[in-house]
Amino acid sequence: MSKLAIMGGSAANELIAKKHFGSYKKVPAKKTPFGKVSDIRLYKSTGLEFYFLPRHGADGYQTAAPFVNYRANIWALKALGVERIISWSGPGIINPGLEVGNFAVPGDIIDQTKNRPSTFFEKGGLGFIRMSHPFCPDLRHALIYSLENLNLDFHNESIYCCTEGPRLETPAEIRLYHAYGADLVGMTLAPEAFLARELEICYASLCYLTNFAEGMVNREFEGGVLFEGMMSPGEKKIVDKAVKKMPEIIVGALKAVLDHSRDCQCKNAMERYRKQGIITDNWRKWINP
């Protein structure tokens, strides 16, 4: 079983169809206590084996961010033996110093979601765990190494604000998130990052920046197109080029960690409960949904 996984955001279906990750085998559907899993595929390419899960569906943008079954997805990857996950996301820009088409490696996150199940531990008193580094430092360093190795410009230590969706944010909300210190605004990394930590999986994300958030620039409304005028045709071409780079960057990062042990604290997130005898190493028994 592979210990590595990629969780793809929007545009995942296009990259799968064009075989940017090579050939794959579909993984038989995994039953989880939390319901249906989006889709999982196993790739074996140039000596690297990893699972790929397109969180919105492999046949298009079938499931909007608020309705992704984050718990089922993380549970299924854990059941397959996954220890490290790199996700991708295409957030908007809040920090005016960033540009459309840039890459970013978030270092922190602000959770502004409202209605999503955000923990596995609804019973049993578990989950009181530290979040000093919500994204795995080791995986972040691997992404940075891969970006540098490819001579790509990127932004480190970005703060990602996760909103509920599926609607986009209002200008007043963006001003609020800017005051919070957020650089990026998206809809997918929470509770995904937190659920991975609860199951002691390393998790980090690579972002390509798609558009300026509402109110950051003046744009006329344009009906019938993606973002309804918030992305110009020129910016779309830049974003499309960035998306095509995502597989190469992420696979490069996975190769960088392939032969390295997990020296981060992600694998010990639940250690206090082990020491108290509340849980054992059988992680399935931690959860009583």
Q: How far apart are CA 191 and CA 254, in angstroms?
A: 22
225 Cβ contact list (under 8 Å, min separation 6): 231
Q: What is the pLDDT of residue 218?
A: 82
Q: What is the pLDDT of residue 2?
A: 65
Where are the chain's structural domains? 4-286
Q: What is the pLDDT of residue 167?
A: 94
156: exposed, middle or buried (C-beta count within 10 Å: 0-12, 13-18, 19+)?
A: middle
End-to-end CA distance of the chain: 26
User: Across the strands, what pairs with 96?
Assistant: none
Greatest pairwise CA separation for the chain in angstroms: 60
Task: Indicate the fold that domain 4-286 takes in CATH.
Answer: Rossmann fold (3.40.50)
Q: How far apart are CA 266 and CA 72, in angstroms?
A: 20
Q: What is the pLDDT of residue 45?
A: 73
Q: What is the pLDDT of residue 1?
A: 52
* pLDDT under 50: residue ranges of the chain: none
Q: What is the pLDDT of residue 229?
A: 66
What are the contacts of 248-252 at 24+ separation with CB within 8 A? 248/150, 249/103, 249/143, 249/146, 249/147, 249/150, 249/152, 249/206, 250/6, 250/86, 250/88, 250/143, 250/146, 250/206, 251/21, 251/45, 251/48, 251/50, 252/145, 252/146, 252/149, 252/150
Q: What is the pLDDT of residue 101?
A: 95
Give the model confidence (pLDDT) of 120-173 as tens digits: 999 889 999 999 999 999 999 999 999 999 999 999 999 999 999 999 999 999
93 Cβ contact list (under 8 Å, min separation 6): 99, 100, 183, 184, 185, 209, 211, 212, 213, 216
Q: What is the separation of C-alpha 86 from the centre of its chain, rounded to a whole number of angstroms?
A: 7
